[in-house]
Amino acid sequence: MKTSGKQEKSGKLVICPTPLGNLGDMPPRALEALREADVVYCEDTRVTGKLLAALGIKGVRLERMDEATIRMPINRISMTDGPLPTDDYVTCGAALVSRALFGETIVYCSDAGMPGVSDPGQLLVAHARELDVPVDVLPGPTAATTAYVASGFTCPRFYFGGFFPRKAGERTKVLESLRPLDAVAIFYESPKRLVACLEAIADALPLRTVAVCRELSKLHEEVVIDFAPALAERFAAREAGEGIKGEIVVVIDVADEYELSEAKNNALDRAAQAAQKMLSSGELSKKEMLKKLQDEFGISRNAAYQLVHTRT
């Protein structure tokens, strides 16, 4: 038992934002957290090391903890010394967080922006909540919300989908689910996959206005806004020429009145064809037909009633 009168150190996990690109955006509380950390975990020690050097922060221990290593069992990776669980099934992320139970202040940084937003930091916070470890989340730059505001789209609701799906089938499924959504959709994307992303949006939602926000807050920041097919052509030409580089956020606006009207007319046309087939077959009652038309085509009960009863 300690008798020195000094209070025993209390550990915690600190989620620490870093600038998207401009060092002037470094939050003061984040600077303080980095200086006082027992250890700083990050996606890439080279990236965070350069940031600390630019900020004049020295003597901080850096350890790598990226998307791959955070899920590894502790017996597959070399961790720093300290109190770690011995269970082979404990992941490195859980082991990292458990160090706070022994008094360490652990800071986690992403390469840029807010950790935990489509980022390994999400899992660390989940582990901390499970272990009852205190968590400090410091507010700071976030590419998703910065791009949302930069787009100029006025819908007050937005949906953040993380990184856009890589596989064609998953892209189609996600975009179809967004069609009726009354919210701006925001996705992160790699410059290597941007053209494929825009082409998928152009195929599924050709009437949508889209913003491509590249290198936000950096020297070569660019926000390009146009209809999806035009953007796909524009960036395909760039890819074939000088290439596409940088961090990218894609923002998809909500449907405008014209698209909503077209969708409603298309739904009514398809419902009318279905109603005719059902009436011809005589397999369903009129009540059953009304429900089926509403459920399958999203039309109102009055519209379904007109389709069924004006054709008898």
Ordered per-residue pLDDT tens for the chain, 312 residues: 343 444 456 899 999 999 998 999 999 999 999 999 999 999 999 999 999 999 999 989 999 988 888 888 765 444 444 444 444 457 888 888 888 999 999 999 999 999 988 888 888 999 899 899 999 999 999 999 999 999 999 999 999 999 999 999 999 999 989 988 999 999 999 999 999 999 999 999 999 999 999 999 999 999 999 999 999 999 999 999 999 999 999 999 998 776 766 665 565 556 667 767 777 777 777 777 777 767 766 667 776 666 667 655
Q: Which amino acid is at 183?
A: A
243 & 267 share domain: no
Does 1 reside within a domain?
Answer: no
Centroid of chain to Cα 122: 11
Which residues constitute the domain of residue 176?
143-254
Does 94 reside within a domain?
Answer: yes
78 & 119 share domain: yes
Does 59 reside within a domain?
Answer: yes
24 & 133 share domain: yes
Residue 68: what pLDDT?
Answer: 83
Does 3 reside within a domain?
Answer: no
CB 250 within 8 A of CB 210: yes
Backbone angles phi, psi at 108, to 5 degrees: -120, 130
Among 137, 159, 191, the domain boundary falls at 137
Q: Which helix (H) or strand (E) holds 161?
A: strand 158-163
198 & 244 share domain: yes
Does 209 reside within a domain?
Answer: yes
131 & 155 share domain: no
244 & 302 share domain: no
Among 137, 161, 191, the domain boundary falls at 137
Number of domains in the chain: 3
Does 170 reside within a domain?
Answer: yes
- Any long-range contacts for 300-303 (C-beta under 8 Å, 24+ apart)? 303/268, 303/271
Residue 74: what pLDDT?
Answer: 67
CATH number, domain with residue 174: 3.30.950.10
Written as six digits, the tokens of 48 are 């965070």
Kindly report the pTM of this predicted structure.
0.76
205 & 154 share domain: yes
Among 84, 114, 137, the domain boundary falls at 137
35 & 96 share domain: yes
Task: Supply the DSSP string of 207-252, one letter for each residue.
Answer: T-EEEEEESTTSTT-EEEEEEHHHHHHHHHHHHHTT---S-EEEEE
176 & 246 share domain: yes
Residue 142: what pLDDT?
Answer: 92
Instruction: Give the chain's count of helices (H) and strands (E).
Output: 11, 10
Residue 271: what pLDDT?
Answer: 64
CATH number, domain with residue 43: 3.40.1010.10
How many beta carbons lie within 10 A of that of residue 239, not counting itself? 15
CB 309 within 8 A of CB 287: no
Residue 277: what pLDDT?
Answer: 77
277 & 162 share domain: no
Residue 9: what pLDDT?
Answer: 62
70 & 186 share domain: no
Does 5 reside within a domain?
Answer: no
Residue 20: what pLDDT?
Answer: 93
Does 104 reside within a domain?
Answer: yes
166 & 133 share domain: no
